[in-house]
Amino acid sequence: MRIHSVQLTAFGPFAGTVTVDLDRLGAAGPFLLHGQTGAGKTTVLDAIGFALFGAVPGARGTALRLRSDHAAADVPTEVVLECSFSGTRLRIRRRPAWDRPKKRGEGTTREQASVLVEDLDGVRPAIDRLDEAGDFLGRLVGMTAEQFFQVVLLPQGEFARFLRSRDDDRKELLEHLFGTSRFAAVEEHLARLRRDAFEAVAAHDVRRDGLGSRLMQALGSDAPVLDPEAAAAEASALERALAAAGTQAQATAAHRTEAAGQAREVEERATRVARRRTLLAHRDGLLAQADDVEAARRQVELARQAAPAVGPVRAAARAAAAVAPAAAAVAGAAAALDLPADVTAEAVRAAEGECRAAAGALTSLVELERGLPERSAAVEAQTAELRRLAGRRARLLAERAELPAELEVAEKAHRAAEQAAAALPRQQERTEALLDRAVAAAQLAEREPRLLTARTAALDARDEVQRLRAAHQDLRERRLDGMAAELAAGLVEGAPCAVCGSVEHPALAAAAPGAVTREQEQSAAEAVRRAETAAEGLAQRAAELQAQVAGLAATAAGVDSTEAFRAAQEARDELAELDRLAAGLDEVAAQLQALRRRDDELVEADGVLLEELAGAQERHAALAAAVLEEGERVVAGRDGHPTVTARQRALVRHADALASLAGLVDAHGAAAADAARRENEAATALALTPFADARETLAAALEPPFEQALLERCTVWERERDRVTALLEAPENQVEPGAEPDEADVAAARSALAEAEEAAQAARSRADALADQLAAVQDLAAQLAAAAREAEPVRARAAEVKALADLAAGSGSDNALGMRLSAFVLAARLEQVALAASGRLQRMSGGRYTLLHSDDRRDRRSRGGLGLRVLDEWCGVEREPATLSGGETFLASLALALGLADVVTAEAGGERIDTLFVDEGFGSLDPEALEEVLDVLDQLRAGNRTVGLVSHVPEMRARITSRLHVVKEREGSRLVYEGC
């Protein structure tokens, strides 16, 4: 993959459109991308990642706002990247989501993110969907965004941390780059199998413990029975106990049967004696009732003789008694109607007809009177409607009188809101300008003292560098003066001298007092390098503060911060008031329009009300006259009664009374005739009976139920007497003299039977309990044995799974390094990275250092497999990467980054990476090491590869001729090509 050019528009600090031509910059070797801090050097790299993946590297991916704050509102943010993949040249045009001004009206609208991938060779059609473009570019690059940012945009700070970090921290980055999640999934799967296996074992243990507890309860023991053989032994003991209990139960059952026979015989004799005594007493009682039964028979005979005359006699008495009440009723009713007691029924019925005719004539007036209140209420309702309409018109006229004043107020408010809306943009611009000036003045007051302090610190640091350089030069000269003694210290008898080659050393030079050693000189040189780095940082910080102060001074324009903030606050208050007035413009306009519309509605409503009022007055006058005429007719029809209805009801009641009197006269005549007829029938019936008169006949008579009861009593007495006599004569009720048992004999027999039954029941219950216990124990013993057999393969599988899962997780005894499966895979990759990095590190370090992969564990709690060591070839000693100096750390981290790029590229599919960027870290190198690094980076150009270096170190500009200078300005950054 080769990147030819990248064009940025309104992206990061670049307000306009800038183009980075990588083919032009990399034509003569590695090129330098330099500029002030914050100018936008890293933004160029961000743009490459954004074009390919729609994202930017690291923490900037979440914190960075892609759109430039310096860009014009209508200029879209865009990155255009031209690159080649295996001979295919593409142009990728990508825009993030941004808020652009509306084409019509004010405000902004959201423009969604977009992408366009074009094949400049015309082989493939263009792609403009975000998901399709992501899939297509991902397949071409052959890496994830995380991998690309690590192997193409080499961040030296991250690799320095990677070099010095612990194994677990390295593991996180390597997992991202090499995608070993499938091996972690295997670890998780094995751990899940181990957990499931042990859960299965635990389930079997729970089942076994449950069965043991149930056996403990069934046997009544003090501890659970968990051994199947012990359970079988307990079952055998129960079988023997059950056999003995069965024999005892049979013996007690035989004894109970014998006692039951004896008790039954005694009770039967006692029952026969008691039954005979009861029958004799019952017979004596029946014989005592014989006279009463005979009297009842005679009473029934007399009642049967009087029965033919009882009915006629009673009917005659009832008929005679009914005549007097009928006559009294006629007399009372006639007197109530002011008529004579001997009035005839025909005369009464004639008077009734006249009354009913008069009542019928009043029906029409009754209906008229019944509707009169409703029609009067209608008159009142119309009167109320007239008052309501008059009130509505009065309120309408009052509202019309108040409306002109409200219209005037609304028109004034509308004019004020329009004026505020027109003045709002100018006031907003003025407020923002005053606020920017106030903030700049406040920041200027804060940064000027810091600038003075920074300048002083930079001067002090420069002086310290000069002092340390002089000290180092003095030590170097003193060491050179004593170099003969230093060389003599390394001579060995018989070994050739490194200077003259002689194997004899007759006069060895001795070290002078206070001679300088090599370590002292190196320590002084290291102090000089550290001081130079610190001085450079302080000088850069002072320059940055100077640029900030200059920009703030231009914005503040010499205004005091307190006065500037006061003016800004006054402008903000004015802006808030204008904004409040302008915000109500639509509401005030709507209110004014509503008032005008209301005025028109009131005029129209007044005309409608006038028409309604005239019609209501006409209807009210007509209805009132009709109700008055109907009232006069009703008053005439009442004829002294409260209402016409009351008069009609009085006539109807009088007619009903006359009809009742006619009925009473007819009933009196019928009662007198019936009494005479009944008297004749009674006399005829009495002549046929043996009784003298009606009184004797009625005295002998009996009511049918009572007569039937007397007959049944006699019949029942005779049957019971015959039954008792037959029972006394029966053989089963005969008792031999002297054979009667007493109560003591019966009680003794019953007591003996109860004792026998209790003993038999106890024996049977014990046998049944032992049988139930034996069945339960046998069942539980069988289940316990089956559970033990089923648990054996489960426990064996759990042991196997645990050993395999522990091995994969790095916690098993067989895994001496404590290395997880995923870490084992990553260790192989890290070993490849270390091997690829060592060649470049040896070249850059002058053959001194080699990177080694280590499986050693730091301590018992850590895991092995992802360790890195540095072999110092000069001393033959392996060291921790943390012991390297700053410059050596840069060399090692750069070599590690390049080696990782080679391995990841091969892992991702072998797509050659023809464009690389190395970001910062060169300031920690001495001139010789820097020269070696640049040689290695220049070798990366083999095969026409483009290598870009990002740095602000001044020495880099002197050594690299092809440069791209990112210039930071107030209106936005710009690019300047230098030496190409």
Q: What is the pLDDT of residues 608-648, one digit of tens each?
A: 888 888 888 888 888 888 888 877 787 877 788 888 788 88
CA 688 to chain centre: 109
- Tokens found for residue 459: 């001067």
CA distance 526 to 469: 10
Rounded Cα gap, residues 536 and 528, in angstroms: 12
- C-alpha 630/C-alpha 530 separation (Å) is 127
Torsion of CA 502, 503, 506, 511, to 10 degrees: 80
The pLDDT value recorded for residue 194 is: 79
Residue 949: its H or E element: strand 946-950
Side-chain-facing half-sphere of 387: CA atoms under 13 Å:
5
pLDDT at 640: 80
pLDDT > 60? residue 140: yes
Which of 331, 176, 282, 537 shows the shortest CA–CA distance to 184? 176
pLDDT of residue 5: 95
pLDDT attached to residue 688:
80
* Spatial CA neighbour of 900 closest among 851, 846, 857, 946: 851
The 10s digit of each residue's pLDDT in 166-177 is 666 666 666 655
Structure tokens at 832: 């490849």
| pLDDT confidence of residue 975 | 92
Check residue 795 and give its pLDDT: 81
C-beta separation of 911 from 142 below 8 A: yes
So what's the pLDDT on residue 118?
Answer: 94
Helix (H) or strand (E) holding 259: helix 228-288
- From residue 671, alpha-carbon distances to 247, 319, 341, 676, 816 in Å are 100, 7, 17, 9, 136
Distance from C-alpha of 612 to C-alpha of 1, rounded to nearest angstrom: 92
The radius of gyration computed from the CA coordinates of the chain, to the nearest angstrom, equals 65
**pLDDT for residue 907:** 63
Percent of the chain with pLDDT over 70: 85
pLDDT of res. 117: 93
Task: Say which amino acid occupies 863.
Answer: R
- Of 91, 98, 139, 138, the closest CA to residue 115 belongs to 91
What is the rounded CA–CA span in Å between residue 957 and residue 31?
10
Q: In angstroms, how far is CA 894 from the centroid of its own chain?
A: 50
> pLDDT for 699-717, tens place per residue?
777 777 887 888 888 888 8
Q: How far is it between the farthest Cα atoms of the chain?
A: 199
Report d(CA 163, CA 869) in Å as an integer.
9
CA distance 52 to 84: 12
Query: Using alpha carbons only, what angle is made at residue 931 by residues 928 and 937, rounded to the nearest 5 degrees?
Result: 145
DSSP string, 895-926: HHHHHHHHHHHHHHT-----EEEEES-GGG--
Rounded CA-CA distance 817/811 in Å is 9
790-800 pLDDT per residue, tens: 878 878 887 78
**DSSP label of 362:** T
pLDDT at 62: 45
Token digits for 347? 């005369």
Residue 678: alpha-carbon gap to chain centroid:
101
| DSSP state, residue 246 | H
Identify residue 588 by its one-letter amino acid code. Answer: V
Q: DSSP letter at 127?
A: B
Residue 7 reports pLDDT greater than 90: yes
Give the DSSP per-residue string, 476-497: HHHHHHTHHHHHHTT--TTSPP
Structure confidence at residue 453 as a pLDDT band (50, 70, 90): confident
Give me the numbers of helices (H) and strands (E) for the chain, helices first please.
24, 16
The better pLDDT of the pair 585, 906 is held by 585
Q: Do 67 and 11 meet the contact criterion of CB atoms below 8 Å apart?
A: yes
User: In whole angstroms, what is the distance from residue 247 CA to residue 764 CA?
Assistant: 10
* Residue of 680, 702, 679, 684 whose CA lies nearest to 305: 702
pLDDT in tens, 243-275: 887 888 788 888 888 878 877 777 777 777 778
Q: How much is the pTM? A: 0.39
C-alpha to C-alpha distance for 820 and 833, rounded to whole angstroms:
19
pLDDT higher than threshold 90 for residue 92: yes
| Distance, CA of 171 to CA of 239 (rounded, Å) | 68
Q: CA of 312: how far to CAs of 306, 324, 325, 687, in Å? A: 11, 20, 21, 12
Distances (CA, A) of 587 to 574, 584, 591, 594: 21, 5, 6, 10
pLDDT above 60 (res 875): yes
Q: Is 2 helix (H, G, I), strand (E, B) or coil?
A: strand
Asked if the model's pLDDT at residue 605 lies above 90, the reply is: no
User: 852 near 831, Cβ under 8 Å?
Assistant: no
Is 80 exceeded by the pLDDT of residue 950?
A: yes
Whether the per-residue pLDDT at 878 is higher than 80: the answer is: yes
Distance CA(454)–CA(843), nearest Å, equals 39
Q: How far apart are CA 44 and CA 949, in angstroms?
A: 12
- Taking the C-alpha atoms of residue 95 and residue 113, their distance in angstroms, rounded to an integer, is 6
- CA 101 to chain centroid, in Å, comes to 40
| 1, 912 Cβ separation under 8 angstroms | yes
C-alpha triplet 450, 454, 460: angle, nearest 5°: 145
DSSP class of residue 731? G
The alpha-helical segments, DSSP class H, found in 30-180 are 41-53, 60-63, 130-141, 145-151, 156-164, 167-178
User: Quick one: residue 737, left, alpha or beta (phi over 0 = left, psi -120 to 50 = alpha)?
Assistant: beta
Segment 300-322 shows an average pLDDT of 79
82: confidence class by pLDDT, cuts 50, 70, 90? very high
Which among 701, 888, 622 has a CA at the least distance from the CA of 309?
A: 701
Between CA 940 and CA 151 the distance in angstroms is 13
Query: What type of residue is 762?
Result: A
Contact indicator for 22, 4 with CB cutoff of 8 Å: yes
Question: CA 31 → CA 43, 292, 844, 951, 958, distances in Å?
Answer: 17, 153, 19, 11, 12
Of 810 and 500, more confident: 810
For β-strands 78-85 and 2-11, DSSP reports them as antiparallel
Which H or E run contains 219? helix 181-219
pLDDT at 834: 81
Q: What is the mean pLDDT of residues 312-333?
A: 80
> Is 50 exceeded by the pLDDT of residue 910?
no
**Taking residues 145-161, what's their average pLDDT?**
63
How far is it, in rounded angstroms, from Cα 313 to Cα 692?
A: 13
Residue 178 has pLDDT above 60, yes or no: yes
> What whole-number distance in Å separates Cα of residue 555 and Cα of residue 546?
14
Q: Which of 435-449, 726-740, 749-763, 920-934 has the lowest mean pLDDT?
A: 920-934
Asked whether 189 and 955 are in contact (CB, 8 A), the reply is no
**Amino acid 798: pLDDT:** 77
